[in-house]
Chains A and B, each alone.
Chain A
């Protein structure tokens, strides 16, 4: 399959931990990267290479993967983490593919 599947919406209480999952067959072969997008802004790379953070991304944001699922975890969610999150990888033909996105609400 060339699709990446994400839950449309997830909520977390302030200060709690939340995991956002991305599922797809291609994730057995290609690592996922994760992007945070706030309203009116371009997406921002927050996790790459399974669990690496670009400079400036807080350590409370981490990534992991197992089999056909990659996950983004926010430990101690802050109000500033409220955003849409997208996973991205390649499919078997080499084309890039995005997940449908997960809207994270911090309560």
Chain B
């Protein structure tokens, strides 16, 4: 069974960089898309971006200038950095596995990130 475990700083100040890690256990890593999604308090899901199995990444245009998603295939880990955070970036952040059917079939547990001065 696939399991995604994520971690990272939970409290940031404005202008800092958010860094999250997602470790993948139990299945092939390189064959899938690795996504980050966030959910602001009381709001809906927002796709941040993904790392593609062929290499490279694809980002939400609204965040593209500030976000970087990368992978370490030797450790089966996915990373996300979001620079110059503001209070609007306060959210629960999820990592999720995407497949070629365009589904997000496994999700991490989520982690709340709060941006506050």
Contacts and interface: CB of A to CB of B under 8 A. Distances in A.
Interface of A: 30-31, 33, 35, 37, 42-45, 48-49, 54, 84, 86, 88-90, 93-101
Contacts of B108: 42
Given A42-B94, A43-B45, A86-B44, A94 B58 contact: yes
- B interface bracket (residues with beta carbon within 8 Å of A): 20 to 34
A54 B103 CA distance: 11
B72 interface: no
A45 B104 contact: yes
B99 to A, nearest CB: 9
Interface of B: 35, 37, 44-47, 50, 58-61, 94, 96, 98, 101-105, 107-110
Contacts of A54: 105
Given A42-B108, A42-B109, A101-B45, A95 B60 contact: yes
Nearest to B64: A95
Contact of A48 (B44, B96, B103): B103
A89 B101 CA distance: 10
Contact of A33 (B46, B103, B110): B103
Contacts of B37: 43, 98
